[in-house]
Every structure is written in C-alpha cells, then in structure tokens.
C-alpha cells in the first residue's frame, strides 16, 4: 500500500495522520508513505522526526474580510495544486488522505483531478472549511463525532473515531507523580491548556490557589513555557503561596503517559485532547476555546457533556470559584467520577485506527 498523507497547521490535523500511519505499518510493514505539509504549520517540526518522507507547499488561509491577500491566497492555492500533482505523479499513491488544514485542500483537490481515491478525516463535531470543500468529490469521509455527519453526504460518511485514541489506548505508562515531588497515592487534578498554556485557565487556577491549598487532592498546572514566568510573578505579587500538593510546570513532554495517572483533567476541547481523554476514560472539565473557527470546541465539549462524559465551563464563566466547584464535584465524589469515567470510555473509539485502515482498504482499486 502506498499512502499519501496531508494535514497541517496544528497538531490536531497532524497527529491523527501519523497515528494512522503507525497502524498501517503494523498491518503492512512494507507500506510506503509520503507526507505533504505546509511551510507555515508545525508539521515541519513534527513529521521529519518520524522518518516519513516530507514535502512542503506554500499555502495560506482566506481572510474573512475583503482583502487583497485573498488574491494571493487563490494564487498560492492554484500553484500548490500544480506542485501537488507533480508530487502525486512521482509517488503514485494508492490513496490520498487529508486530515485538515489548507494544505490538505490543495493536495486532495489535485488527487481528485488525477482520479486518485481520496479519504478525508474530520476530527471535530463541526466540519472545517477545507473538508467541506473536498467532500463533494471525496471517495470516503471518516468522522470522529456523530454530529459531523450532518455536514457530509451520508452515503460515503462513516463514524470511525480519531486514530490518536487507539494510539493512546495502547500506550503503557510507568510515570509516577513522585517525579514532581507529589504522592502517587492521592487523587490528582491535571490542568493543561495546551502545549503553550492557556491564559484564561492559568488565571482561573491562580485565583483558585487558596482553595486548592486546602484540598486533599493534588493539583498540577501546566502553565506553558512562555507563560509560567508571568504566572509565578502574579502569584508573588498577590502574596499567594503553593502548598506541597500543588505543582506548576512549564511543559510536559509525555502528556498521554501523565494523563493515564491523572484522576481528572482540565483542558481545552480540541479534537486531539478529546480523543486522548476518552480513550483513557478520563473524567474531564472542558473549557472550550472561543477563538477557533466555527466555535467547534464548544460543540465538541457539548457532545461529551450530553453523553455524561464531561463537565464544561464556558471561558466567560471560568474563574477560581467555578474551577474549584467543578473539581470538587469530581474529586470529592467517587460515584460521580466513576460514572463519568464509564461514559467517557463509551464515547471513546479505541479501534479508530483499525476502522480508518479498513476504510482506506475499501477505496483502493
């Protein structure tokens, strides 16, 4: 099997593609891959480390206002399509997979014009612009949330989940909280606003410190490498101190391994985070980012809340009091936490990678 992968911009588009590649390698060790990304996205830092051959295209998103930059966007897209056709002809893939981002639009559009089977994957409950553009001529469409089906032709859309979930579900962890000077016998609230941290979540945690100091459970805040200094400065200015059961860290490399040892997770509601926490059956308090296209994180969170798999706090309602209240519900009530854990596991699709692989096999001529 020869598979071309394309997804860019954010980790949420990249990690599902790489997780799929790992599943294919397990099933077909002789499979060949080519990853086509952009020059701007983080894929340029992530994909080369995997050893998968990597090509780059110049693309950019459309401006929402009338702007001359949109003429450049169209020109770059057409140029990227032409370059993508050459890459496709050289590699001759059996199927081209797009996991989102503007670069996948150019690559899959080129593949569709060349008559190559294409499969798109939508990680969120609301379809992205690129995937909606590609859906009409896509061979198959895989979705991670049932709600996303409304955006695509029903006859070629399948609920397969997010391959990242299968990857995380199969991980083993030997991580211990004593690594950070904490106890491995206490419940732990892990607060993670993304790899760069989230200012609103950091500020709510800062406000909650006096109450968290009184709790029997532990609290770990991953503030972000560029935001931890500001957090510690504000902590000092406000005359607050951290008890021995609270740790503030800049970053955690092996987040899925650490998540396996957490009791409750506070996080954004991005597709990758949700795939990971549901794969682990981890009770969560979701704080959707209001700054994403189509407000899709709010809809992602609602899917879990409606299933009884998570609590959610809208960012305007997030403060120290609301954060502590939600944490107490899950960390001081075993029955509530266990019920949510069970529902979270039900939502998670831990064979998503296998489902995705079978979807690809069904379209290869």
For residue 254, what pLDDT is reported? 85
Check residue 24 and report its DSSP letter.
Answer: H
CA distance 214 to 201: 20
Distances (CA, A) of 113 to 8, 89, 108, 138: 21, 12, 9, 11
Backbone angles phi, psi at 179, to 5 degrees: -55, -35
Secondary structure (3-state) at 19: helix
Distances (CA, A) of 276 to 240, 255, 333, 345: 33, 10, 23, 11
pLDDT in tens, the chain (365 residues): 999 999 998 888 999 999 999 999 999 999 999 999 999 888 999 999 999 999 999 987 765 555 667 778 788 889 999 999 999 999 999 999 999 999 999 999 999 999 999 999 999 998 988 999 999 999 999 999 998 999 999 999 999 999 999 999 998 899 999 999 999 999 999 999 987 889 999 999 999 999 999 999 999 999 999 999 999 999 999 999 999 999 999 999 889 899 999 999 999 999 989 999 999 999 999 999 998 877 889 999 999 999 999 999 999 999 999 999 999 999 999 999 999 999 999 988 999 999 999 999 999 97
For residue 19, what pLDDT is reported? 95
User: Between β-strands 118-122 and 95-98, what pairing exists: parallel, antiparallel or unpaired?
Assistant: parallel
CATH of domain 2-164+350-363: 3.40.50.2000
Known binding site for UDP-N-acetyl-alpha-D-glucosamine: residues?
10-12, 124, 195, 252, 297
CA distance 95 to 97: 7
177-347: CATH topology is: Rossmann fold (3.40.50)
Residues of the chain with CATH 3.40.50.2000: 2-164+350-363, 177-347
Burial letters for 268-305: b for 16+ Cβ neighbours within 10 Å, e otherwise?
Answer: bbbbbbbbbbbbbbbbbbbbbbeebeeebbbbbbbbbe
**Residues belonging to the chain:** 365
For residue 62, what pLDDT is reported? 64
Known binding site: residues?
10-12, 124, 195, 252, 297
For residue 220, what pLDDT is reported? 98
Sign of CA dihedral 145, 64, 44, 297: negative
pTM for this model (two decimals): 0.87
For residue 197, what pLDDT is reported? 87
């Amino acid at each position: 099997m020869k598979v071309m992968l394309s997804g860019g911009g954010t980790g949420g588009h990249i990690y599902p593609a790489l997780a799929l590649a790992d599943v294919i390698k397990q099933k077909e060790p002789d499979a060949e891959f080519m990853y086509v990304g952009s020059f701007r996205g983080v894929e340029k830092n992530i994909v080369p480390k995997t050893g998968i051959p990597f090509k780059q295209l110049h693309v950019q998103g459309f401006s929402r206002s009338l702007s001359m930059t949109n003429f450049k966007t169209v020109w770059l897209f057409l140029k990227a399509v032409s370059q993508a056709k050459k890459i496709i002809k050289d590699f001759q893939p059996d199927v081209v997979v797009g996991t989102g981002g503007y670069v996948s639009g150019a690559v899959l559009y080129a593949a569709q014009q060349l008559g190559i089977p294409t499969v798109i994957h939508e990680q969120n409950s609301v379809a992205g612009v690129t995937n909606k553009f590609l859906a009409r001529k896509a061979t198959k469409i895989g979705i991670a949330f049932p709600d996303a089906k409304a955006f695509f032709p029903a006859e070629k859309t399948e609920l397969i989940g997010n391959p990242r979930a299968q990857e995380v579900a199969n991980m083993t962890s030997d991580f211990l909280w004593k690594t950070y000077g904490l106890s491995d016998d206490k419940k732990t609230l892990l607060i993670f606003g993304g790899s760069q941290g989230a200012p609103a979540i950091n500020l709510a945690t800062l406000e909650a410190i006096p109450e968290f100091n009184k709790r029997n459970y532990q609290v770990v805040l991953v503030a972000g490498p560029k935001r931890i200094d500001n957090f510690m400065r504000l902590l000092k200015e406000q005359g607050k101190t951290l008890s021995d059961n609270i740790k503030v860290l800049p970053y955690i490399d092996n987040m899925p391994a650490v998540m396996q040892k957490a009791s409750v997770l506070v996080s954004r509601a991005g597709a990758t985070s949700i795939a990971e926490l549901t794969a682990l059956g981890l009770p969560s308090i979701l704080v959707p980012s209001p700054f994403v296209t189509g407000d899709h994180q709010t809809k992602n969170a609602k899917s879990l809340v409606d299933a009884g798999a998570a609590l959610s706090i809208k960012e305007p309602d997030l403060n120290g009091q609301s954060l502590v209240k939600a944490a107490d519900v899950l960390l001081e009530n075993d029955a509530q936490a266990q019920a949510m854990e069970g529902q979270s596991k039900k939502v998670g699709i831990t064979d998503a990678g296998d489902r995705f692989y079978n979807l690809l096999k069904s379209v290869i001529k």
